[in-house]
Amino acid sequence: MAVVSESTFVGRRHEVAAARKALARARLLTLTGTGGVGKSRLALKVAATLRGGFRDGVEVVQLSSLAAGELLAPTVAAALGLRDGDSDPMALLEDHLAGRRMLLVLDNCEHLLDACARFAARVLREAPRLRLLVTSRQRLGVYGEHVLPVPSLPVPDPGLPPHVIARHDAVRLFADRAADASPGFRLTRENAADVAMLARRLDGLPLAIELAAARLRTVPLDRLARELDERLQAVTSPATLPPRQRTLRATMEWSYRLCSAGEQRLWARLSMFPAGAGLETAEAVCAGGEVDGCEVLDLAAGLVDKSILIGEQAEGCVRYRMLDTIRAYGCERLAGDEERDLRERYIGHHRDLVARNRIHETVPDQLERYRLLRRELPNLRAAIETCLGGPGPPAVGLEMAASLWSFWLLSGSATEGRYWLERGLERVTAPGRGRATALWVYSMLALRQGDPAAAAPRLEECGALVRREGFADVLPYAVRTSGVAAFSAGEPGRGLALLEESLALHRAAGDLDGVAFNLYYVAAYGASQSPGRAAECGEEMLALCEEHGAPVTRSYAQLVLGIVLWNLGDLQRAEELVGEAAEFTRDIDDKWCLTQCVEVLAWAAGAHGDHGRAARLLGAAHALWQSVDASPFRLSYHAPWHERCVARARRALGVQAYQAAFREGARLGLDPRPLAGSGRPGAHHASGRV
């Protein structure tokens, strides 16, 4: 969770105490207040102070970049480390939260008010030990909700003695931010009255105070006070706004007018990015007209100096983002041809970004691509939404959603993938290649979620469309998905034949990436049907991944080959392969692969006679299976070995000792690293690393 340091948080002692007290007696606390009043920062501070009081932890979920209420549950599930394996992620969340004592913070709920209210009511009903802390501009209206309005910071009368003025939180905040903006600044007897007047004119709004303090980089305090006073008197905000919102808006307009023309345009254009943007992206998308590409860096630096942008180091480069209130104001400044041109560049940039970063390609930078897409997800959502629900081209939105299929799987976001694909398929009805691709991707995601009824009609349409229109490049994927569907329908012979057919089509087309993934499916589903053939496919897949240096695909090759070798009796190599895959997938948070790895390592511990460790690993695997909404009994290559391992451990330990060890492992659940222990003496195997 995010932690607020003392250097970034000023005042609010009474509000923190009130929130802690409220959460001690109420299970839902909503912090309300106008934009810029500091609700989010207060929530983070409260969460940080309460972290030690919740056995199962504190988790903060930021919702400001989420455009659709349908994505609320999968977003929360992802934040909790749950792989979205079910078409109903709420059920997955309920199972996970049911017995946990934790604090869940939902930040910025006002634009998803109805969805957040339904979510809160349901999880509080199903998880009796859960506490919810919510920030919103208005209450949720849920039974049992406790509302704590967040006021502006207290401001002093400028006529008070300087030492009294200095005690007020609004003055302390200004002095703290002013010292950052102008090193050497401090509150003195001579300037205390001016600072008090500034704080009073800004109604004690933290964001407005911070924006004003940033001006001290270039403007002396006495002149700053005059400028601000003149600007607040000159700006006429809508009379329908409450006084504090009028003050904040006036402060925004004042800050905007103090920017150069280039800075104003960059402020407006960067407001398109919910997740912020790196310098190269800002130059590619935001340059043009009044903003020259070579000036973007200097303009961004100017906006950082004025506290409009926040510059953060991310993986060796600077990334620029805005607070939501500032971003919303910037969006208002886009209109006409500028907005249209920027929108086209924004969509084009993110379309190209997705095309360049397909995770399923057998390349060395798979992991870097995955991390990039995770970081850019809010921006990708905005681009897809603009295409499917706004003025952008729907076909491009559908193309992006379908091209992200491997990301939806690896990140555990099948529900979100299906959401965008459903919307896109409703908008794009022409029988083209884009629709055919989206149909098989939707079917695959539905099958992954155990929803064959939803997959069947889409898959049937895909097959007919591909054959009628002659989309030879889409055909192997449609056949492969049909093979998986056949296994789901209890037809393993037909399913394996279809997977082999798909593999042959990929080979004939010279599609290396398709070959690699089909080898995985043939090996996995053929492990018990045709173990010799499965071993050939597993070895070939591993060799391909090592030849091309593809680390993500390699972990799946190690897993599937390990399972096949286990069936063939090569326990030592199976354990080594699966242990290494477990180590890698745990570090990148790929729970689907990790779950199966921990399951296999439990079998290995049992085979070495360490039944206590086997029981603990089975418990950890049980929690992981639940988190991905799956079961070893649904997979033909897991079920018999799982049952055998459980039976042996029960006999060796006795029922009570087995259950105690199982519960110990289940408590560790999503982080099984503490289960490291000895395995077979003298052997090098990776199970001890888990």
How many whole angstroms separate alpha carbon 72 and alpha carbon 122? 13
User: Highest mean pLDDT: which of 323-327, 495-499, 565-569?
Assistant: 495-499
Task: Specify the higher pLDDT residue, 305 or 609.
Answer: 609
With 90 as the cut, is the pLDDT of residue 79 above it?
Answer: no
Question: Mind listing the pLDDT tens digit for each residue in 38-78?
Answer: 899 899 999 999 988 898 889 999 998 888 888 899 899 88
Cβ neighbours for 73, distance < 8 A, ≥ 6 positions apart: 89, 90, 93, 119, 415
State residue 687's pLDDT score. Answer: 33
Chain-centroid distance, C-alpha 436: 28
Kindly report the three-state secondary structure assignment for every residue of 307-319. Answer: CCCEEEEECCEEE
Long-range pairs, 250-256, Cβ under 8 A, ≥24: 251/202, 251/205, 251/207, 251/208, 251/211, 251/212, 252/211, 252/325, 252/326, 252/329, 254/227, 254/228, 255/211, 255/306, 255/308, 256/329, 256/333
Contact 353, 538 (CB under 8 A): no
How many whole angstroms separate alpha carbon 167 and alpha carbon 164? 5
With 60 as the cut, is the pLDDT of residue 688 above it?
Answer: no
Average per-residue pLDDT for the chain: 87
pTM of the model: 0.80
State residue 234's pLDDT score. Answer: 55
Cβ neighbours for 561, distance < 8 A, ≥ 6 positions apart: 523, 535, 538, 539, 541, 542, 574, 577
What proportion of the chain, given as a percentage, has pLDDT over 90?
Answer: 54
State residue 8's pLDDT score. Answer: 61
Cβ neighbours for 507, distance < 8 A, ≥ 6 positions apart: 515
State residue 683's pLDDT score. Answer: 36
Could you state, in order of their start, the residue ranges of all structural domains in the chain?
A: 6-149, 162-256, 259-334, 341-556, 591-689
Instruction: Classify 288 as helix, strand or coil.
Output: strand
- Mean pLDDT of the region 123-127: 92
Question: Mind listing the pLDDT tens digit for each residue in 136-174?
Answer: 988 898 988 999 998 888 888 888 898 999 989 899 999
How many whole angstroms separate alpha carbon 240 and alpha carbon 320? 33
- Mean pLDDT of the region 498-503: 97
With 90 as the cut, is the pLDDT of residue 662 above it?
Answer: yes
- Mean pLDDT of the region 83-98: 78
Contact 150, 37 (CB under 8 A): yes
Candidates 409, 407, 351; CA nearest to 379 is: 351
- Mean pLDDT of the region 474-491: 94
- Mean pLDDT of the region 192-201: 88
Within 428-550, residue ranges assigned H as helices are 433-448, 452-469, 475-488, 492-509, 512-526, 531-548
Q: What is the DSSP letter of 674?
A: G
With 80 as the cut, is the pLDDT of residue 508 above it?
Answer: yes
State residue 672's pLDDT score. Answer: 60
Q: Give the bridge partners for 106, in sequence order.
A: 61, 134
State residue 670's pLDDT score. Answer: 61
- Mean pLDDT of the region 662-678: 67
Polymer length of the chain: 690
Candidates 296, 206, 289, 217; CA nearest to 258 is: 217
State residue 241's pLDDT score. Answer: 57
State residue 587's pLDDT score. Answer: 82
The helix (run of H) or strand (run of E) holding residue 132 is strand 131-136
Kindly report the three-state secondary structure assignment for every residue of 344-391. Answer: HHHHHHHHHHHHHCCCCCCCCCHHHHHHHHHHHHHHHHHHHHHHHHCC
State residue 397's pLDDT score. Answer: 97
Candidates 4, 105, 120, 128; CA nearest to 59 is: 105
How many whole angstroms separate alpha carbon 670 and alpha carbon 591? 8
CATH number for the domain whose boundaries are 341-556: 1.25.40.10
Question: Mind listing the pLDDT tens digit for each residue in 400-459?
Answer: 999 999 999 888 788 899 999 999 999 999 999 999 999 999 999 998 887 899 999 999
State residue 83's pLDDT score. Answer: 67
Candidates 254, 270, 272; CA nearest to 262 is: 270
With 90 as the cut, is the pLDDT of residue 337 above it?
Answer: no
Question: The CATH number of 6-149 is which of 3.40.47.10, 3.40.50.300, 1.10.287.130, 1.10.730.10?
Answer: 3.40.50.300
Q: Do domains 6-149 and 259-334 have the same CATH topology?
A: no
* Region of poorest pLDDT, from 287-291, 395-399, 460-464: 287-291
With 70 as the cut, is the pLDDT of residue 235 above it?
Answer: no
CA distances from 44 to 5, 51, 58, 59, 436 (A): 10, 10, 10, 10, 45
* Amino acid at residue number 457: P
With 50 as the cut, is the pLDDT of residue 90 above it?
Answer: yes
How many whole angstroms separate alpha carbon 645 and alpha carbon 618? 9
With 60 as the cut, is the pLDDT of residue 85 above it?
Answer: no
With 50 as the cut, is the pLDDT of residue 385 above it?
Answer: yes
- Mean pLDDT of the region 8-18: 84
Radius of gyration, alpha carbons of the chain:
28
With 80 as the cut, is the pLDDT of residue 550 above it?
Answer: yes
- Mean pLDDT of the region 482-505: 94
Contact 492, 500 (CB under 8 A): no
pLDDT range class, residue 232, cuts 50, 70, 90: low
What CATH architecture applies to the domain 259-334?
Orthogonal Bundle (1.10)
With 60 as the cut, is the pLDDT of residue 264 above it?
Answer: yes
Phi, psi of 78 (to 5 degrees): -65, -40
Cβ neighbours for 632, distance < 8 A, ≥ 6 positions apart: 599, 621, 625, 638, 639, 642
- Mean pLDDT of the region 101-119: 93
